[in-house]
Structure 1
Amino acid sequence: MLQSDPCSTPDLIPFEQALALLLSSATRELNVVSVPLWQALARVTSLAYRSPVDVPNFDNSAMDGFALHVDDIATITPAKSFELIGRSMAGKPFNGQCKQGQCVRIMTGAVIPDECNAVVMQEKATTKSPYELGTQISFDINEVTAGQNIRPKGNDIRQGELLFEAGHRLKSADLGLLASLGLHEIKVFAPLKIAVFSSGDELVLPGTPLTEGKIYDSNRITTIALLSELGFEVIDLGILPDDPDVIAKALQAASLKADVIITSGGVSVGEADYLKETVERLGKLSLWKIAMKPGKPFAFGNIDNCYFLGLPGNPVSSMVTLMQLGLPFLRKLQGQTLSSPKTFSATLHQKIRKSPGRKDFQRAIIQLDNEGEWLAEPLVNQNSGVLSSMSRANGFILLPADSESMDKGAKVKVQLFSDLIDS
């Protein structure tokens, strides 16, 4: 048996307990705003939406062809010849009468003429184009049924049908759906304002020359990109030096204009890690040091009415804690109805090493094999400073705190990055 995780100590807060505390703390007054559809992507609905109309709002053709009445198939001459009397085009319906022995040329999406109850596809016509009015149209068919190739009124959505509950985060397809109902504006919760900065004398902006001992600030870029993708309003505060007075002034100022402050670095136990003690001095620290790997030095608290999320400085730890702890908290604070991220079982493609003590989120490539079974291949380097592992992987292998190393072929629980972000 392996020894316990050397970084696991009795004062660590279990991951599940930390997440529960975060979610129970996620309360604020939600303001409602009206925005045009094209500005509503990733916003959260403030009320339930029902369809004001049927979609489609008229019977229409599912394909290009000829509209007719099915009873005519049995009564017309054996050659099944129909006189072409008009055209029904998308946006330009046929308004005449279609009598026995007659048909109407019709295009996909066009209104079905009142007397017609079926559409014969164009490919079944033995008469070739051009289809001039008065032409006798013959078909190579044995049977036509009522409703054939017709999309009936309300086939997609019925008037009054529930589309979205309050608390739904809008995706691009949702906006298209709302547009199809004639809506051009929608009521959503005002976006959460999140101030983001990195901390550390070693950090420099991408695009500037690196001097000895310096590294590029990647955590802030990653954090801002993910938050922006999810519809939050981000306030970029740049990089703060390892100076307690500068940090205190920046935190105090940010707390007056943001709902949440997110930092990376400065929350561990190093001599230059000032963020934790500064938050404790200005406000309250409710969480620090979580029994998770990577991500142990995660911190949570508040400065007056502004929440504080302190992400670890190591790039992977920063991303993992933001995805696993930060996003559920922020979504609830934004008014979104939470759903548990999808997890499923996969087979280990190779052995993984783990010591008991902390819940482990190992980066992995998760994919289907040729038999349709899920495989999980953990990346070789699970170091929390290897940011490339988050780019190369597409999911996590979830290992409980009390679990140990597992051999190739073992079943494990996995979670895709895309499911975490889209939940």
Structure 2
Amino acid sequence: MARLKGIGPGHAPMSVDEAGARAVSVAAPVAGLQTLPLSQADGRVLAEDIRAGLPLPPFANSAVDGYALRFGDLALGSETRLPVLGRIAAGEAAATLAAPGVLRIFTGAPIPPGADTVVMQEDVRREGDVVVLPPGLQRGDNLRPAGEDVAPGDLVLSAGHRLRPQDLGLLAAIGHEHVTVRRRPRVALFSTGDELTEPGQPLPPAGIYDANRALLRALLARAGAEPVDLGILRDDRDSLPARLAEAARDCDLVVTSGGVSVGEEDHVRAALSALGTLDFWRVAIKPGKPVAVGTVAGTPFLGLPGNPVAVFVTFAFIARPMLARLAGALYPPLLRLPVRLGFSHQGKPGRREFLRVSLEQGVDGVSLARRHSGEGAGSLVSLVQSDGLVELAEDLPPAEEGEIRPFLPYAALLG
């Protein structure tokens, strides 16, 4: 008989923070590295530190279109007239500025040896082959020194960092063509329930289309995983263990939606008793109380609720940290933004609630949160028509209209 933990009759729901930490503890970074061109590396997790092999910028250059000069040639407290001795465009080598005068220079062009200041073209008056420079210039104006952004040997990006477009631009700027990244975790994905029908098929009486797999496929991909869609698991106590075990052999994580509550037809928890461990199966969160974390034949297992909004919320706070661990990725805390409530809410003590809200511009600059009218855990429309979630902590009094509470935009939850 497999080991089951924390599911006795007196077992209290686990806090959201503890559930996320326990889910992470079940997982370990997957083995396997890949070397990819930058064009294929967006969203992948770095497998090694990257240090700069050259300075950035690689040479001193002009930050503006203007004129390069020697600061010592300027008159103090009055205009200065200097001849134009030549020009330097981006990509051209610069001749030394050895005599009093200026060189016409363009953005990104190298600063000529001898010059130490650039004046913007808008700030000078040109009279034929002479420019008239205003007083008040400062040595080093509009000059970008070599290594201003990155010096040789600097740590540019750390192992575990999930690459973004701006990271790829930086890597290209320091001459990297390829990066070594971790393999994407393969995630077996099931929906469970006899009531489910594949989209596109005739809908039987009392049937519903399976929305959760479409939702979870996209969430998994955005979290950096490789979804392996294994379809619908029917409410069949006898066949469930074999299907789960097969998925566990081929993947790094098994994810199901539905079937982990306390109903007589919720068989996923029971199937785990024949296959592995169940670490916990209830979380003090609304929506999304029935969440199961454990292992199936040694492979991490995550059982999410059956209602789509509960799937979305629990994925954000329990699945994403777990997937980051599998991917070997660093997972910074979610950034919460302050909003003013445009509603009151009497929550249930001891349970953290996440309310779907839309934002309006407040008169004082603080965004005003309006609660969506669709409150049910099955209301996908409420997710589509809202901007994010207001978080109501389990240890705070009821929320009153006008209070400032934390807000999580969907963009932050989707990665």
Relative to the length of structure 2, the TM-score reads: 0.89
Following superposition, the deviation at residue 380 of structure 1 comes to 2.8
Following superposition, the deviation at residue 272 of structure 1 comes to 2.8
The gaps in structure 2 that reach 5 residues or longer are: 1-8
Q: 1:92 is matched with which residue? A: 92
Q: Distance in 2 between matches of 1:292 and 1:125?
A: 64
Following superposition, the deviation at residue 29 of structure 1 comes to 5.1
Moved more, 144-153 or 267-276: 267-276
Against the structure 1 CA distance between its residues 359 and 9, is the aligned structure 2 distance closer, same or farther, given a 3 Å change threshold?
farther
- Please give the secondary structure, in 2, of the residue aligned with 1:173: helix
Following superposition, the deviation at residue 358 of structure 1 comes to 2.3
The answer to whether structure 1 residue 377 and structure 2 residue 370 are counterparts is yes
Q: 1:109 is matched with which residue? A: 108
Following superposition, the deviation at residue 57 of structure 1 comes to 0.9
Following superposition, the deviation at residue 352 of structure 1 comes to 1.2
Q: 1:390 is matched with which residue? A: 383
- Output aligned runs, 1:10-409, within 5 Å: 11-28=12-29, 30-74=31-75, 80-85=81-86, 87-94=87-94, 96-127=95-126, 136-366=129-359, 369-403=362-396, 405-409=398-402
Q: Distance in 2 between matches of 1:163 and 1:125?
A: 38
User: 2:142 corresponds to which letter in structure 1?
Assistant: N
Q: Distance in 2 between matches of 1:69 and 1:111?
A: 14
Whether the aligned pair in 1 keeps the contact of 2:223 and 2:323 (CA below 8 Å) is no
Q: Distance in 1 between matches of 2:133 and 2:270?
A: 83
User: 2:89 corresponds to which letter in structure 1?
Assistant: M
Following superposition, the deviation at residue 357 of structure 1 comes to 4.1
- Please give the secondary structure, in 2, of the residue aligned with 1:166: coil
Following superposition, the deviation at residue 304 of structure 1 comes to 1.7
Q: Distance in 1 between matches of 2:326 and 2:352?
A: 25
Following superposition, the deviation at residue 99 of structure 1 comes to 3.4
- Please give the secondary structure, in 1, of the residue aligned with 2:97: coil
Q: Deviations over 1:224-266 (max 9, x none)?
A: 1122122212212222333334433321221111000111112
The answer to whether structure 1 residue 410 and structure 2 residue 410 are counterparts is no
Following superposition, the deviation at residue 55 of structure 1 comes to 0.5
User: 1:80 corresponds to which letter in structure 2?
Assistant: R
Following superposition, the deviation at residue 54 of structure 1 comes to 1.0
Following superposition, the deviation at residue 309 of structure 1 comes to 0.7
Q: CA RMSD in A?
A: 2.5
Whether the aligned pair in 2 keeps the contact of 1:345 and 1:412 (CA below 8 Å) is yes
- Please give the secondary structure, in 2, of the residue aligned with 1:127: strand
Against the structure 1 CA distance between its residues 66 and 276, is the aligned structure 2 distance closer, same or farther, given a 3 Å change threshold?
same
Against the structure 1 CA distance between its residues 29 and 193, is the aligned structure 2 distance closer, same or farther, given a 3 Å change threshold?
closer
Against the structure 1 CA distance between its residues 382 and 114, is the aligned structure 2 distance closer, same or farther, given a 3 Å change threshold?
same
- Please give the secondary structure, in 2, of the residue aligned with 1:285: strand
- Please give the secondary structure, in 1, of the residue aligned with 2:75: helix
Against the structure 1 CA distance between its residues 407 and 280, is the aligned structure 2 distance closer, same or farther, given a 3 Å change threshold?
same
Q: Distance in 1 between matches of 2:254 and 2:119?
A: 62
Following superposition, the deviation at residue 302 of structure 1 comes to 1.0
Whether the aligned pair in 2 keeps the contact of 1:117 and 1:147 (CA below 8 Å) is yes
Q: Deviations over 1:269-320 (max 9, x none)?
A: 3333222212222222221122221111111111122111111110111111
List structure 1 runs of 4+ shifted beyond 6 angstroms.
none
Whether the aligned pair in 2 keeps the contact of 1:37 and 1:184 (CA below 8 Å) is yes
Whether the aligned pair in 2 keeps the contact of 1:30 and 1:335 (CA below 8 Å) is no
Against the structure 1 CA distance between its residues 328 and 79, is the aligned structure 2 distance closer, same or farther, given a 3 Å change threshold?
closer
Q: Distance in 2 between matches of 1:90 and 1:230?
A: 40
- Please give the secondary structure, in 2, of the residue aligned with 1:377: strand
Q: Distance in 1 between matches of 2:412 and 2:230?
A: 29
Q: Distance in 2 between matches of 1:140 and 1:212?
A: 84
Relative to the length of structure 1, the TM-score reads: 0.88
The gaps in structure 1 that reach 5 residues or longer are: 1-7, 129-134
User: 1:354 corresponds to which letter in structure 2?
Assistant: G
Q: Distance in 1 between matches of 2:53 and 2:287?
A: 49
Against the structure 1 CA distance between its residues 11 and 97, is the aligned structure 2 distance closer, same or farther, given a 3 Å change threshold?
closer
Following superposition, the deviation at residue 375 of structure 1 comes to 3.3
Following superposition, the deviation at residue 374 of structure 1 comes to 4.2
Whether the aligned pair in 1 keeps the contact of 2:30 and 2:185 (CA below 8 Å) is no
Following superposition, the deviation at residue 44 of structure 1 comes to 1.8
Moved more, 174-183 or 207-216: 207-216
- Please give the secondary structure, in 2, of the residue aligned with 1:139: strand
Identity of aligned residues (%): 36
Whether the aligned pair in 2 keeps the contact of 1:32 and 1:46 (CA below 8 Å) is yes
